[in-house]
Amino acid sequence: MLESGRTRLVLIILLVLAVALITFDFRDGGSSGAHSLGGRLFGPVEHVAGDVTGWFKGGSGDEISALQKQNDQLRAELAQAQTDDADAAQLASLLHLGAKDHYKVVPATVVAAGGAYSDTVMINAGSASGIAANETVLNGDGLVGTVVSVTSSTATVQLATDANSTVGVRMAGTGQIGAVSGTADSFSGSAPLRLTLFDATAALRPGEQVFTFGSVGGRPYVPGVPVGTVTTVTTEPGSLTPTALVQPFADFTGLGVVGVVVSK
Amino acid sequence: MPGEPSLAARALVAVALPVALFAAVVAQLTIVNRLPLPGGDAPDLVLLLVAAVAVVSTPLIGAVTGFVGGLALDVAPPDTHYAGEYALVFCLTGYATARWRTALYAGSATGDRDPVTTLTIMMIGVAAGEAGKAAVGRLLSDPDVTNAAIRHVLPGAIFYDLLLSPLVLWLVARVAGIAQPHRQDRPARGELIHFGQTATAFRLASAGATSGLRLAGTGRSYLNAAAARIEPRLRFSDGGTVRQAPPPARREVRLRLAGSGALNHGPPPRRERRLRFDGGESASNVRSPARRTPRLRLAGRGAMLTSPSLPRRVPRLRFDGGGELAKSQTAARRVPRLHFDATGDLAKSQSLPRRVPKLRLSDGRAGSLARTNRGSAATAQPLVAGGRAGKLHFAANSPARARPRKVRTPGRDWLRGGSLVRSDGHLRSAATPRFSRRSAPQWAAGNALGVRKAVKRRPGRGWLRPARPKRANWYTGARSTSWLRRSRNPWRRRRERLLRLVGGRR
């Protein structure tokens, strides 16, 4: 009886504590001190564990990963160069972009992944490598996501397929602008991104490519990173904005080496 | 004590739990979530560990483990849901799972643990935990937790969890078994048989008295033991034959024909209106042939009985003894000694004189009931005045018989009237109670069994209040004094509940 009473007391305390934590975190928008504490506590361990498992997974992965990192860096620069070549002047005037070497790509490896419902990963580079929050993450195929939180040695990346993520994009051919958001349905695989154009009269055709539009100061997204290809136009009759499903270039289920575009 | 685990073992287990929790969180995030499993789902190692720990330990440990594990999963970096979501869900899961398991085994004193039941509880707890994760995310309107995502994630996650739960439970039980006291080994085969016999006898003995009694140390599961208490068994002292409840033989009177000895289950024919003389020399005076006049005997007893299907208007007259007794005291009145044995309704017999049969007395004279009654009016008057009393005794050698007896209702136990003449033909003594109110044995009386059905224990009524143990049990006959505190005053009860909640007072 006494034991049971104590158990219930502890249970009630724990439940109240959990509800209080949820409340505080909800008020802070999911970035309360609890997360930073957890990052400091679990970050290094996951860093090491992810490196160990990556070492087991990749075998002699040092050289390969170095080459991959270099490749990613080159591809990122190439994508940027292509964008600049396409309409460099227009973009520069529009986005107030500086020179090409304004950006630098920090390579990192995915060491941990979030739970079933959230599309977030953790990379093994943090503020010690110059990474800060709201920086673009890409890999050799295209856009991956953006950094949402950072510790000294790790950073949490919100993937573009996450339902919280919205990326400003531009159509490759027509230059129409719009937004790509995650659908929280990335598990079905086919088309985890949803494109919405801002111009009601713009025409959408399957096969068109989508690039990032860019943000002020390159945060959270730098311009010109390829996002994906339009697969299905889902515009409904009478709707104000044309919509489509976009198949991303990057394979979000098998992320390995990524690059973080840091500002110098 | 040799069965107690050592301090080192306990410390090992106490350290192993947080370490395992931490390792589960890290492994979940770095390995399991990144595995390209079919369906894109992944099991939840932390939830599995919490449920397994809860199911082999107490609710307190289960709740604390669930809270810590869930909170670790909440704040560990890659996950971005609100801190406290999984802590809430896992805490409830751990508590409820352990509470359920505890309540299920609360009644077994032997401490038997059924692994399949434990695993089932754990599986249900894990599935509920997965559903709770989705539910809390949906409640907080997490944009990641949409209906489509739940539909896709939940079945696969539960599937992988159920797949892994036996392994996790086995591991946890192995580690937890280090710190638990060693149980006695199962007895050998011979011992088991001996204990089994003892258990059977004990169960039989306690069949009616103590339904909550358990046998300790027999190695028998309480589940099997409970089944025998539902149906009482009868053990005979001679052969040890155990059979089910005895047939309801006493409900139907079996008739035996005097001549042939054949059993006659049906009612006697309607012509059976004659008065029969029972006894050696009286039988010769019976006018009817013996075939048509079966004597009624309860099978196996030899006692004279009146069948319920006999017409009630015919009292059974019996000449008791012989002529020598009739001569002794009542010779002056020349009244034959008549016994209305069972419950013949004399008043009705008188009102229907047509049906009164002829009576042949032992001294050879023919008589009738009316005449007989007239002749013994002085003795029989109080009985007749009583209305329904049909008992007419002319017992010369025992004046107590002439005393008006207690009126007997024909409906109740008129079947069990004892005969004055014993089965060996001798007269019963006056001290012998002729009408023994012999009730049926307890176990033969339909549903009036003194056996309570075995009732499965349930957890408490409210989720906050535990199952209240009985205040007094069968061997401590005294009631506890808790009724003093449990009065009807609602504020008193509220205060008691609050004190109980805080744990200050029992």
Please give the sequence-ordered ranges of beta strands (E in DSSP) within A183-224, or none if there are none: 193-197, 209-212
Q: What is the pLDDT of residue A74?
A: 82
Distance from CA of B298 to the nearest CA of A (A): 59
Q: What is the pLDDT of residue B102?
A: 84
Residue B315, pLDDT > 50, answer no
Q: What would the mean pLDDT of A78-98 be, rounded to a whole number?
A: 57
Higher pLDDT, A225 or B502: A225
Q: What is the pLDDT of residue A3?
A: 58
Tell me which residue has tokens 């940027």.
A80
Could you tell me which chain B residue has the CA closest to the CA of A255? B34
Residue B311, pLDDT > 80, answer no
Q: What would the mean pLDDT of B297-301 be, rounded to a whole number?
A: 42
Distance from CA of B252 to the nearest CA of A (A): 54
Residue in B21, B79, B138 to test binding to A, most A beta-carbons within 10 Å = B79
Higher pLDDT, B166 or A96: B166
CA distance B55 to B125: 9
User: Chain B residues with CB inside 8 Å of A148's CB?
Assistant: 80
Confidence of residue B338 (pLDDT cuts 50, 70, 90): very low
Higher pLDDT, B143 or B316: B143
Please give the sequence-ordered ranges of beta strands (E in DSSP) within B390-506, or none if there are none: none
Q: What is the pLDDT of residue B91?
A: 94
User: Positive or negative CA dihedral for B274, B279, B282, B285?
Assistant: positive
Report chain A's mean pLDDT, rounded to a whole number: 79
Q: What would the mean pLDDT of A30-59 be, rounded to a whole number?
A: 75
Residue B439, pLDDT > 80, answer no
In a domain, A75, yes or no: yes
B92/A158 Cβ within 8 A: no
Confidence of residue A181 (pLDDT cuts 50, 70, 90): confident
Does B126 contact chain A (CB < 8 Å)?
no
Q: Looking at the DSSP assignment, which residues form a beta bridge with residue A193?
A: A182, A246
Q: What is the pLDDT of residue B264?
A: 42
Confidence of residue B237 (pLDDT cuts 50, 70, 90): low
CA distance A111 to B26: 11
Domain carrying residue A243 = 7-264
Higher pLDDT, B386 or B118: B118
Nearest to B84 among A7, A25, A111 (CB): A25
Higher pLDDT, B405 or A223: A223
Domain ranges of chain B: 7-178, 189-243, 259-426
Q: What would the mean pLDDT of B206-216 be, rounded to a whole number?
A: 50
Q: What is the pLDDT of residue B458?
A: 53
Could you tell me which chain A residue has the CA closest to the CA of B68? A14
Nearest to A120 among B79, B87, B140 (CB): B79
Distance from CA of A229 to the nearest CA of B (A): 22
Q: What would the mean pLDDT of B320-349 be, rounded to a whole number?
A: 43
Is beta strand A193-197 parallel, antiparallel or unpaired with respect to A243-248?
antiparallel
Q: Looking at the DSSP assignment, which residues form a beta bridge with residue B338?
A: B319
Q: What is the pLDDT of residue B310?
A: 43
Q: What is the pLDDT of residue B126?
A: 95
B85/A2 Cβ within 8 A: no
In a domain, A70, yes or no: yes
Q: Is the peptide bond before B289 cis (omega within 30 degrees of 0)?
A: no
In a domain, A108, yes or no: yes
Report chain B's mean pLDDT, rounded to a whole number: 61
Nearest to B29 among A8, A10, A112 (CB): A112
A119/B91 Cβ within 8 A: no
In a domain, A1, yes or no: no
In a domain, A2, yes or no: no
Q: What is the pLDDT of residue A86?
A: 59
B81/A26 Cβ within 8 A: no
Higher pLDDT, A166 or B380: A166
Higher pLDDT, B469 or B129: B129
User: Chain A residues with CB inside 8 Å of B85's CB?
Assistant: 18, 22
Q: What would the mean pLDDT of B127-135 be, rounded to a whole number?
A: 94
A4/B466 Cβ within 8 A: yes
- Class of the CATH-defined domain B7-178: mainly alpha
Does B26 contact chain A (CB < 8 Å)?
yes
Residue B501, pLDDT > 70, answer yes
Q: What would the mean pLDDT of B226-240 be, rounded to a whole number?
A: 48
Q: What is the pLDDT of residue B363?
A: 45
Residue B301, pLDDT > 50, answer no
Tell me which residue has tokens 């535990």.
B466
% residues pLDDT > 70 (chain A): 82
Q: What is the pLDDT of residue B281?
A: 41
Higher pLDDT, A204 or B397: A204
Q: How far apart are the first and last CA of chain A?
A: 65
CA distance B319 to A42: 107
A38/B149 Cβ within 8 A: no
Q: What is the pLDDT of residue B402?
A: 46
User: Chain B residues with CB inside 8 Å of A17's CB?
Assistant: 67, 84, 87
User: Chain A residues with CB inside 8 Å of B64's CB?
Assistant: 10, 14
Which range in A98-112, B93-107, B465-479, B491-505 is most confidently predicted, on average pLDDT?
Answer: B93-107
DSSP structure string for A79-91: HHHHHHHHHHHHH
Distance from CA of B187 to the nearest CA of A (A): 33
Q: What is the pLDDT of residue B362?
A: 43
Buried b / exposed e over B165-196, threshold 16 CB at 10 Å, is beebbeebbebbeebbeeeeeeeeeeeeeebe
Residue A208, pLDDT > 60, answer yes
Distance from CA of A166 to the nearest CA of B (A): 12
Q: What is the pLDDT of residue A51?
A: 76
Is beta strand A209-212 parallel, antiparallel or unpaired with respect to A166-171?
antiparallel
In a domain, A244, yes or no: yes
A24/B78 Cβ within 8 A: no
Q: What is the pLDDT of residue B21?
A: 92
Residue A144, pLDDT > 70, answer yes
Which range in B5-9, B146-150, B294-298, B394-398 is most confidently predicted, on average pLDDT?
Answer: B146-150
B95/A7 Cβ within 8 A: yes
Residue B322, pLDDT > 80, answer no
A189/B40 Cβ within 8 A: yes
Residue in A117, A156, A161, A165 to test binding to B, most B beta-carbons within 10 Å = A117
User: Chain B residues with CB inside 8 Å of A42's CB?
Assistant: 25-26, 29, 72, 75-77
User: Chain B residues with CB inside 8 Å of A150's CB?
Assistant: none
Could you tell me which chain B residue has the CA closest to the CA of A14? B67
Q: What would the mean pLDDT of B109-113 be, rounded to a whole number?
A: 56
Q: What is the pLDDT of residue B414?
A: 47
Total structural domains within chain A: 1
CA distance A226 to B495: 68
Residue B164, pLDDT > 60, answer yes
**Measured CA distances, A93 to A69, A84, A216, A217 (Å):** 31, 11, 12, 13
Q: What would the mean pLDDT of B119-126 be, rounded to a whole number?
A: 93
Distance of CA A157 to the CA centre of its chain: 5
% residues pLDDT > 90 (chain B): 15
Q: What is the pLDDT of residue B419?
A: 43
